[in-house]
A and B are shown apart, each in its own frame.
Chain A
Amino acid sequence: MRILLVEDEKKLSELITRTLQSESYAVDAALDGQSGWEMAESYEYDLIILDLMLPNLSGTEILRRVRRRNQAVPILVLTARDATVEKVKHFEAGADDYVTKPFAFAELVMRVKALLRRGPVSRATVLRVADLEMDRLSQQVKRSGRRIELTPKEFALLEYLATSPGRVFSRTMIIEHVWDQSFEGLNNIVDVYVRHLRRKVDDPFPTKLIRTVRGVGYGLGENAEA
Chain B
Amino acid sequence: MNSRSLSFRLVTWYAGLLTVVFVLLGALTLLLLRNYLEANLLDIQARRARQIADTLLAAVPRTGEGALARQVEELYSPEANDRLIRITRGDGHVVYASQRPKDNNFDPGQVPLPSLSRSGEFSRKELLPGGALLVAALPYTPAGGSEHYLVEVGVSNSPTEATLRQVLLMMAIGLPVALGVAVMGGFVLVRRALRPVEQLGRKAEEITQHNLSERLPVVQTGDELERLSISLNHMISRLEGSIESSKQFVADASHELRTPLTVLRGELEALAQDGQLRSQTRESLGSMLEEVDRLTEVVEGLLALSRLDAGESRAHWVRFDLAELAASTADQMSLLAEDKSIRVVCEAAADVIVEGDQARMKQVVVNLLDNAIKYTPNGGKVRLKITREGPNALLEIADEGIGIPQQALPHVFKRFYRVDGSRSREQGGAGLGLSIVESICSAHGARVEVTSTPGKGSRFRIIQSLANNTTVHAHS
A-side residues, CB < 8 A to B, are 9, 11-12, 15-16, 18-19, 80-85, 100-106, 153, 168, 170, 179-189, 192-193, 195-196, 213-216
Residues of A within 8 A of B359 (CB): 180-182
What A residues does B362 contact at CB under 8 A?
180, 182
A184, B299: Cα distance in complex, Å: 13
Interface contact A19-B366, CB-CB below 8 Å: no
Scan residues 211-266 of chain B and give those whose CB is less than 8 A from a CB of chain A.
255-256, 258-259, 261-263, 265-266
* Residue of A whose beta carbon sits closest to that of B282: A214
Q: For B313, what are the chain A residues with a Cβ–Cβ distance below 8 Å?
A: 84-85
Is the pair A11, B263 in contact by a Cβ cutoff of 8 Å? yes
CA distance A174 to B433 in the complex (A): 20
Expressed in whole angstroms, the Cα–Cα distance for A102 and B298 within the complex equals 12
Q: Which of B270, B290, B301 contacts A18 (CB 8 A)?
A: B270
The answer to whether A214 and B301 touch across the interface, beta carbons within 8 angstroms, is no
**CA–CA, A18 to B271, complex, Å?**
12
CB pairs A–B below 8 angstroms (30 shown)? A9-B259, A12-B259, A12-B263, A15-B266, A18-B270, A19-B270, A81-B255, A84-B312, A84-B316, A101-B261, A102-B261, A102-B262, A102-B299, A103-B262, A104-B265, A182-B359, A182-B360, A182-B366, A184-B363, A185-B430, A186-B366, A187-B293, A188-B336, A192-B336, A214-B272, A214-B285, A215-B286, A215-B288, A215-B292, A216-B272
Q: Out of A16, A18, A179, A192, which one reaches B339, CB within 8 Å? A: A192
Find out whether the CB atom of A83 lies under 8 angstroms from the CB atom of B335: no
Question: Do A215 and B259 touch across chains, with their CB atoms under 8 A apart?
Answer: no
- Taking a contact as CB atoms under 8 Å apart, the answer to whether A215 and B297 are in contact is no
Q: Which residues of A contact B429 (CB under 8 A)?
A: 185
Asked if B336 and A189 make an inter-chain contact with CB atoms under 8 angstroms apart, the answer reads yes
Total interface residues on B, CB under 8 Å, equals: 52
Using a CB–CB distance below 8 Å, which chain B residues touch chain A? 255-256, 258-259, 261-263, 265-270, 272-273, 282-283, 285-290, 292-293, 296-297, 299-301, 303, 307, 312-313, 315-316, 329, 332-333, 335-336, 339, 359-360, 362-363, 366, 370, 428-430, 433
Known A184-B300, A189-B335, A215-B286: A83·B293 in contact at CB below 8 Å: no
Q: Which residues of B lie under 8 Å from residue A100 when comparing CB positions?
A: 258
Task: Select which of A83, A153, A214 is within 8 A of B283 by beta carbon.
Answer: A214
Instruction: State in angstroms the CA–CA spacing of A102 and B261 once bound together.
Output: 6
**A214 CA to B287 CA in the complex, in Å?**
8
Are A192 and B335 within 8 A (Cβ)? yes
Q: How far is the CA of A81 from the CA of B286 in the complex (A)?
A: 28
Smallest CB gap from B430: residue in A: A185
B268 touches A215 (CB 8 A): yes
Provide the residues of chain B in CB contact with A83, threshold 8 Å. 307
B contact residues around A215 at 8 Å (CB): 268, 272, 285-290, 292-293
B286 adjacent to A101 (CB under 8 Å): no
Bound-state Cα–Cα, A184 to B297, Å: 9
Kindly state the separation between the CA atoms of A26 and B265 in the bound complex, as whole angstroms: 23
The reply to whether A12 and B262 contact each other, CB–CB distance below 8 Å, is yes
Smallest CB separation, B69 vs chain A (Å): 122
Q: How far is the CA of A11 from the CA of B335 in the complex (A)?
A: 40
**B339 to chain A: which residues have CB within 8 Å?**
192, 195
Q: Are A182 and B288 in contact, CB atoms less than 8 angstroms apart?
A: no
| A219 to B, closest residue via Cβ | B273
B259 touches A213 (CB 8 A): no
Q: Report the minimal beta-carbon distance from A77 to chain B, rounded to whole angstroms.
A: 14
A189-B335, A215-B286 known; 6 new pairs, CB 8 Å cut-off, are: A19-B266, A102-B258, A184-B363, A185-B429, A196-B335, A215-B285
Q: Are A9 and B315 touching (Cβ within 8 A)?
A: no
- Tell me, in angstroms, the Cα distance from A85 to B311 when the chains sit together: 12
A110 CA to B309 CA, complexed, in Å: 33
- Compute how far the CA of A192 lies from the CA of B339 in the bound complex, rounded to whole angstroms: 7
> Chain A residues with Cβ under 8 A from B265's Cβ?
102, 104-105
